[in-house]
Amino acid sequence: MPPKKQKKAPVKPYSDSESEEEFVSASTDTKMDPADFIYCLKAALLDQDISQQLQACLSPVVTELKKEIDELRDDIKKRDNEITKLHEEIDELKQGTRCRTLLFDGLEEESGNMMVEDNVSQFVTNNLNIPLDVCELENCFRVGKKENNKSRRIIVQLHNLGKVKKILGAKQNLRKLKDQTVYINQDLIPKRAEIHKTARQHVKTKKLYRTWIYNGQVHVKMNESDQDSLIVKSLSYLNMLVAGK
């Protein structure tokens, strides 16, 4: 049932002799109730001829709007790619500041008058067969709260990048240790450290074959037969690799 009509001033009928603009201008003083307008619009849309005319009128507008939307989507995608690239460049710069820093975990705490620098120097020299003098260490200190029966992490910064690479290249010798378990890793920015941690978890659950760090980048191999490794720069990319396996 149509809405109840209210008495209004009569609307001047449209004449073919006047333009649409003139008709609209002459009718501005006459207001239509919104409910009446909606009812009339629905009734008009049921008329096939009127519906086709409306479609013909609105089609160019809709086409233009779709074109603008597509252009905006392309622009947003382009900007997102630029932002991603900038984030990656920033990550590279941050990681570059840590290229001469190593993390030692599991190395027993010093006793007596031994300094942490001497402990690291002797361990690398004796167990990795790489001569390391204390003077080659730019910074060397433990971090974290001291607890019984638990060795704190040691952050070691060396003067020479070449010596860092030699130490990392000799890490396999750590497997020969019998009296303690020591790990030596590159110091990663938090984002890459989280990626590497997640990748190691996937290796344990057999979703990845192997993961390692090289030059501050997280590398993974999906299968044992893979010739080349993949560099993972984001958790979303890692999750995509695992999901697609």
Question: Sorting pLDDT into bands at 50, 70 and 90, what band is 81?
Answer: very high
The pLDDT of residue 237 is 93
- Angstrom distance (rounded) from CA 104 to CA 110: 14
Of 163 and 177, the one with more pLDDT: 163
pLDDT band at 220 (very low <50, low <70, confident <90, very high): very high
What spatial distance separates the first Cα and last Cα of the chain, rounded to whole Å?
60
Burial class (CB in 10 A: 0-12, 13-18, 19+), 118: middle
Closest CA to 174 of 140, 127, 206, 223: 127
Q: Residue 218 is which amino acid?
A: V
Please check the confidence at residue 27 and state whether its pLDDT lies above 50: yes
Q: What is the pLDDT of residues 190-217, one digit of tens each?
A: 999 999 999 999 999 999 999 999 889 9
Say yes or no to pLDDT of 14 above 50.
no
Lowest mean pLDDT among 123-127, 160-164, 174-178, 212-216: 174-178
pLDDT for res 37: 80
Give residue limits of the domains in the chain. Answer: 101-186, 190-243
User: Please, is 210 exposed, middle or buried when counting C-beta atoms within 10 Å of its C-beta (0-12, 13-18, 19+)?
Assistant: middle
User: What pTM value is reported for the model?
Assistant: 0.66
**Residue 226, amino acid:** D
CATH class of the domain whose range is 101-186: alpha beta
Distances in whole angstroms, Cα of residue 49 to Cα of each of 36, 55, 56, 61, 136 = 21, 10, 11, 19, 89
CA distance 58 to 145: 70
- Beta strands at 210-214 and 217-221: parallel, antiparallel or unpaired: antiparallel
Rounded CA-CA distance 159/58 in Å is 71
Q: What is the pLDDT of residue 65?
A: 93
Q: What is the mean pLDDT of the chain?
A: 87
Beta strand 137-143 pairing with 153-158: antiparallel
Pair of tokens at residue 21:
């603009």
Beta strands in the chain, from DSSP E residues, in sequence order:
101-105, 137-143, 153-158, 183-186, 210-214, 217-221, 230-232
pLDDT of residue 244 exceeding 60, the answer is: yes
Mean pLDDT lowest for which of 28-37, 48-57, 152-161, 179-188? 28-37
Q: Are strands 101-105 and 153-158 parallel, antiparallel or unpaired?
A: antiparallel
For residue 167, is pLDDT > 50?
A: yes
The pLDDT of residue 178 is 80
Give me the mean pLDDT over the 119-143 stretch: 95
Q: pLDDT at position 112, please?
A: 87
Please state, for a pLDDT cut of 70, what percent of the chain lies above it: 87
Report yes or no: 188 and 196 within 8 Å, Cβ to Cβ. yes
* Secondary element (H or E) of residue 32: none
138-164: pLDDT as tens digits: 999 999 988 888 899 999 999 999 999
Task: Write out the two tokens for 64.
Answer: 């233009």
pLDDT at site 164: 95
pLDDT in the model for residue 186: 93
Residues 102, 164 contacting (CB under 8 angstroms): yes
Q: Are 73 and 173 in contact (CB under 8 A)?
A: no
